[in-house]
């Protein structure tokens, strides 16, 4: 049931933010629209290609059987963590990894007359314990050829709607943290510089290069201090989800597939209390969590015959739900996500065929 894997170097794929839209209440109602979009995008970046780990081959181990344990889906916002979070031991370089090595999406922030643009840079804790990031990284902008351009970034931000200016940020195993790189033009008279990437260096020696980014302006590049990508409390930050599913389903029958839950950290993830999850079948590639109650969805409790997922390990779980006979034929997407936790979540496309005529 459980298979160990080793950490490999690999190129991650990100899932478009529109593919999965977290609950609107997962982000503070007082947060600006720009910041909310950034937070949603940061969450989407955590959906990684499964090919980067030495997974057990599909079908090599029998999955844990599906449990018919329906649960009434809870309403209301997720629990949030207190701010500021208590400081822990400093994060070590070996316990960090970067997300979005191919670059994040540039956004603009026009609040109070600003002409600033920015992007989020995300890393996460893959160690065994919570750790604390302090201050801000050293950032050197790069041109399209990967060569240094402009001066080293100043601490701070041009973005009036983003950045918490925290002295430190504590993240638990699997949890992401982010900084914002930003630039502006108004009030600056230096030559225009176009940045296509950046090299980041933390005070613990952890460094990485982010490519295919885009920022352009005359003001000197700035970098904000570290902050959590989300302030939601969750039991399963350390888990990734991957759907291994048949390419098609027939309306009027059960759709059965395998969900792999992968622990990407050096910590052990307890499954006590047992995870509650929701499956959604959508006839479109995009859906909004605000409309979930009007869509075909099923909420169950996981078969927790195993009580934990060990470090760098995975468990495979059988999943099942009925596809109504009247479900429209054509392309569809199955979405899977844990309740009461920002992660894990996964999506997979399939084709739904009309019921077989007898």
Asked whether the beta carbons of 303 and 65 are under 8 A apart, the reply is yes
Shared-domain flag, residues 249 and 201:
no
End-to-end CA distance of the chain: 39
Shared-domain flag, residues 106 and 223:
yes
Which of 327, 154, 182 minimizes the C-alpha distance to 255?
A: 327
Parent domain of 318:
2-6+53-79+234-353
Q: What is the pLDDT of residue 149?
A: 97
Q: How many domains does the chain have?
A: 2
Q: What is the pLDDT along the chain (358 residues), one digit of tens a residue?
A: 443 333 322 222 222 222 223 332 222 222 232 333 333 334 444 444 333 444 433 334 799 999 999 998 877 666 787 777 899 999 999 999 998 655 568 888 887 778 899 999 999 999 999 999 999 999 999 999 999 999 999 999 999 888 788 899 999 999 999 999 999 999 899 999 999 999 999 999 999 999 888 999 999 999 999 999 988 888 899 999 999 999 999 999 999 999 999 999 999 999 999 999 999 999 876 667 778 888 899 999 999 999 999 999 999 999 999 999 999 999 999 999 999 888 899 999 999 999 987 6
Shared-domain flag, residues 219 and 309:
no
pTM of the model: 0.80
348 contact partners, CB below 8 Å, separation of at least 6: 243, 245, 257, 333, 334
SS3 36: helix
Q: What is the pLDDT of residue 76?
A: 67
Shared-domain flag, residues 346 and 282:
yes
Q: What is the pLDDT of residue 212?
A: 84
Q: Report the DSSP pairing between strands 330-338 and 276-282.
A: antiparallel
Which of 235, 134, 240 minimizes the C-alpha distance to 177?
A: 134
Give the whole-angstrom CA distance, residue 6 versus residue 313.
9
Tokens standing for residue 58 = 């599909």
Q: What is the pLDDT of residue 73?
A: 85
Tokens standing for residue 100 = 């979005």
Give the whole-angstrom CA distance, residue 271 versus residue 279.
19
Shared-domain flag, residues 223 and 311:
no
Question: Phi first, then psi: what are they for 320, rounded to 5°?
Answer: -160, 145
Shared-domain flag, residues 251 and 215:
no
Shared-domain flag, residues 105 and 218:
yes
SS3 35: helix
Give the whole-angstrom CA distance, residue 171 versus residue 28.
18
Element (H, E) at 4: strand 2-4
Query: Domain end: 228, 253, 271, which one?
Result: 228
In-domain check, residue 43: no
Give the whole-angstrom CA distance, residue 121 versus residue 135.
14
Concatenated DSSP letters of 168-206: EEEE-TT-EEEEEEEE--TT--SPPEEEEEEEEE-TTS-
Shared-domain flag, residues 98 and 221:
yes
3-state secondary structure 263-281: ECCCCCEECCCCCEEEEEE
Asked whether the beta carbons of 114 and 160 are under 8 A apart, the reply is yes
In-domain check, residue 33: no
Q: What is the pLDDT of residue 106?
A: 86
Query: Domain end: 208, 228, 248, which one?
Result: 228
Q: In what order do the strands lie in the sheet with 193-201?
A: 138-142, 193-201, 207-217
In-domain check, residue 71: yes
Shared-domain flag, residues 239 and 337:
yes
């Amino acid at each position: 049931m459980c298979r160990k894997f080793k950490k490999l170097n690999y190129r991650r794929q990100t899932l478009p933010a529109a593919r999965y839209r977290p609950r609107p209440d997962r982000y503070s109602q007082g947060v600006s629209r720009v910041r909310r979009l950034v937070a949603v995008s940061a969450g989407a970046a955590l959906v990684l290609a499964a090919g980067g780990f030495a997974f057990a081959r599909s079908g090599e181990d029998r999955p844990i059987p599906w449990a018919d344990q329906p649960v009434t889906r809870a309403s209301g916002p997720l629990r949030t963590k207190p701010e500021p979070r208590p400081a822990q031991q400093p994060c070590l370089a070996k316990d960090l990894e970067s997300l979005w090595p191919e670059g994040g999406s540039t956004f603009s922030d026009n609040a109070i007359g600003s002409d600033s643009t920015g992007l989020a840079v995300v890393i996460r804790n893959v160690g065994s314990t919570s750790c604390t990031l302090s201050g801000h990284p050293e950032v050197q902008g790069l041109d399209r050829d990967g060569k240094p351009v402009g001066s080293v970034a100043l601490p701070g931000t041009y973005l009036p709607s983003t950045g918490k200016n925290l002295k430190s940020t504590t993240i638990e195993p699997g949890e992401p943290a982010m900084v914002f790189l930003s630039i502006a033009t108004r009030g600056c008279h230096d030559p225009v510089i176009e940045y296509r990437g950046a090299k980041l260096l933390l005070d613990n020696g952890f460094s990485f290069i982010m490519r295919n980014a885009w920022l352009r302006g005359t003001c000197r590049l700035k970098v904000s201090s570290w902050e959590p990508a989300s302030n939601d409390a969750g039991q399963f930050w350390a888990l990734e989800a991957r759907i291994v599913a048949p390419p098609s389903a027939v309306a009027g029958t059960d759709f059965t597939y395998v969900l792999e839950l992968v622990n990407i950290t050096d910590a052990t993830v307890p499954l006590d209390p047992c995870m509650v999850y929701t499956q959604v079948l959508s006839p479109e590639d995009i859906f909004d969590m605000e409309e979930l109650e009007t869509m075909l969805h099923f909420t169950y409790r996981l078969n927790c015959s195993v009580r934990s997922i060990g470090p760098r390990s995975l468990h495979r779980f059988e999943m099942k739900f009925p596809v109504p006979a009247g479900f429209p034929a054509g392309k569809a997407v199955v979405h899977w996500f844990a309740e009461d936790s920002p992660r894990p979540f996964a999506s997979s496309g399939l084709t739904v065929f009309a019921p077989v005529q007898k």
